[in-house]
Each structure stands twice: as C-alpha cells, then as structure tokens.
Amino acid sequence: MMNQKNVKRHPVPQARRGTEAKSSDPYAKKGGIPEPAKCSACEAVYHHKRWYSKGDPVVIELQSEAFDRTICPACRKTQEHFPGGIVTLRGEFLDSHKDQILHQIRNEEVRAKGNNPQDGIISIKETERRIEIHTTSEKFAQRIGKEIHRAYKGEVNYNWTPDDKFVRVEWFRGAEKED
Ligand SMILES: [Zn+2]
C-alpha cells in the first residue's frame, strides 16, 4: 500500500528548522576570517579564502606562520548540531546492506574531508526503519545521495531550501517498513 513516504517528489522544499536567516549561512562570516587562521578544534587552516585539513601540504608549508585562532564552521556546526544537510536512507534493501552502506559513507567522509575539511558527518542515527545522517555541509549531503544512488541504485530525491544552504536528501530502495 502506498503511503505518503512513497511519494517521490516533494514540490515544496522543506524549510530548515529554527530561526536562522534565510538569505545566508550564519556560519559563514560576512567580513571574512583573518588569514591565516587555525581551527582550535580540528586544526584545519583557513588560507586564501578556503579551508585546508591539517595534513594538507598547504598547511605544512604555513606551519611557521602566526595563526589567528578560530573555530571553523564545520566544528561549530558539529558542536551546535546545526546540519547543512540531512540524508535519510530507507527501504528493505537497507536491512541487508546496512553495514556496507555505512562503511561507504564513512569512506566518502574521509575522501571529502581530504578535499575540504568543511565537509563531514555530524551524526548518524539508526532506527529500525531508517538511517539518518546529519552533515556539516549541504554539498556533502548531496554527495552521499549521489554516491549511494550510484552504488546501490534505488531512488534519490533532493529538496533544497530556496537559498540552497540546506538540503534534505532522501534515498530508498525496496518496500518501506510500516510505522
Ligand atoms: Zn574545525
């Protein structure tokens, strides 16, 4: 039996919870971050308007510099649990492939972080019916959807907020478990 959850398209993007401004990411400082700056939590370095992970050759080259101390947007989003994206995985197929899929998502995180330390996982919540992954960036949530869909087929939908700062990604394969 079809229920609401099987509807493939959601014409109205789901608004992000909370009170944050619609027009901008409150974690992206308007005036910019002084450069070079180092995140006190993950040691990512901000240089030339982008973040590098601590093992990056760019960071190694900069190591003798005097860094401003800051907390990077990804670490703040993690600390405050303020996701840029939410990925929901559902359907019968998940039962038999859960470990494999979670393993792939963790691998994607390692790869994504190597490229941009602002991409990462805030939390993974498993229930009997679904897995919900909260990510620091909307781009990384989109990437998880894309990679899971490429590897396991099924159906994937992306619902962006009008300002493109938040995405809800829904992937499913196989019948939905009833509540
Ligand atoms: Zn950080």
The domain locations on the chain are: 78-172
Q: Checking phi first, is residue 81 left (phi over 0); if not, alpha (psi -120 to 50) or beta?
A: left
| Beta-carbon neighbours within 5 Å of ion ligand 1 | 39, 41-42, 44, 72, 75
Q: What is the Å distance from ligand 1's center to 74 Cα?
A: 6
Q: Give the C-alpha separation, 59 to 40, whole Å.
A: 14
Q: What is the Å distance from ligand 1's center to 28 Cα?
A: 13
Q: What is the Å distance from ligand 1's center to 49 Cα?
A: 15
Predicted confidence at residue 111, as pLDDT, reads: 94
Chain position carrying tokens 């990056």: 56
Q: What is the Å distance from ligand 1's center to 144 Cα?
A: 21
DSSP string, 104-155: HHHHHHHHHHHH-TT--EEEEEE-SSEEEEEESSHHHHHHHHHHHHHHH-SE
- Mean pLDDT by runs of 10 across the 179 residues of the chain is 44 45 56 84 93 91 90 95 97 94 97 93 93 97 98 97 95 81
Structure token pair of residue 172: 């499913």
CATH architecture of 78-172: 2-Layer Sandwich (3.30)
> CA neighbours within 13 Å on the CB side: how many for 140?
28
Predicted confidence at residue 63, as pLDDT, reads: 85
Q: What is the Å distance from ligand 1's center to 40 Cα?
A: 7
Burial of 177 per CB tally in 10 Å (0-12, 13-18, 19+)? middle
Q: What is the Å distance from ligand 1's center to 73 Cα?
A: 7
The answer to whether 13 and 85 have CB atoms below 8 angstroms apart is: no
Predicted confidence at residue 129, as pLDDT, reads: 87
Q: What is the Å distance from ligand 1's center to 78 Cα?
A: 9
Q: What is the Å distance from ligand 1's center to 151 Cα?
A: 30
